[in-house]
Structure 1
């Protein structure tokens, strides 16, 4: 009997769809953002991977973004609408596999609770277009803000300081 319960439990967890984080696209969200486009318009200006992250709240594979190990001086902008989101001076290596920052550029990032995985996390979006960026956790550097903005590289465009 224990073996049957164990096997049923394993089957349940294996059958869970890996797209559990995908939510409604921001364009169908009730929140209104200054920049609004149809899904077709977003698909024309974003790559497939950018669309998946920014408009479908997807997550890229860890350690897959070249921006993860980028430490040049500059600003990280929204890949969809070019809004400046994070400064390079606030970037650090969290060893999580995603670009991480201890703070955002105030007013350019919006936050909401995300319970798509069965527990609450703080999700972050571009405040201008609503594009999904990632999540914020309280395990960041204690000597600064204590926050870790865990951001998908596909949601970002790096603009170096001239």
Structure 2
């Protein structure tokens, strides 16, 4: 598959490839969303430091350059609203996302994911998957709204998981039309 664009724009938001200068904004967005994110993602549990943000941005750069994953900042009027990423899988891709608390409920993730699903299919992906903890109903609403099918549930080991997670991943899939 070809490399995706580094920038996408819509009237109400844009997706921009992460840059090292985004460290302060990502640290502030994650820290400012506290339990909202920490309930669902392990990397936000216990706080999110400047070092965490810098490491995240280094990893996104490395992943982009190697083709393992492509990740963008979701921006609204120049403010960091969240993130969305497309991870390369055998024959397809997986999409993940998060939003800062103050940007939820606006349909931003649904529109960003819709854009990236179309782009992934245009670039040759055979399928797109979205995975989320079964208890994260809001996250699961995104693939449901976009016509994905719930194809399976996967039990996770009971290790360190965020407090709101029940340890069952729902896996949604949409096939190339």
Q: Does TM, normalized by the shorter one, top 0.5?
A: no
More helix by share: 2
RCO higher in structure (CA 8 A, sep ≥6) = 1
**Normalising by structure 1, what TM-score?**
0.31
**Normalising by structure 2, what TM-score?**
0.29
**Structure having the higher Rg:** 1
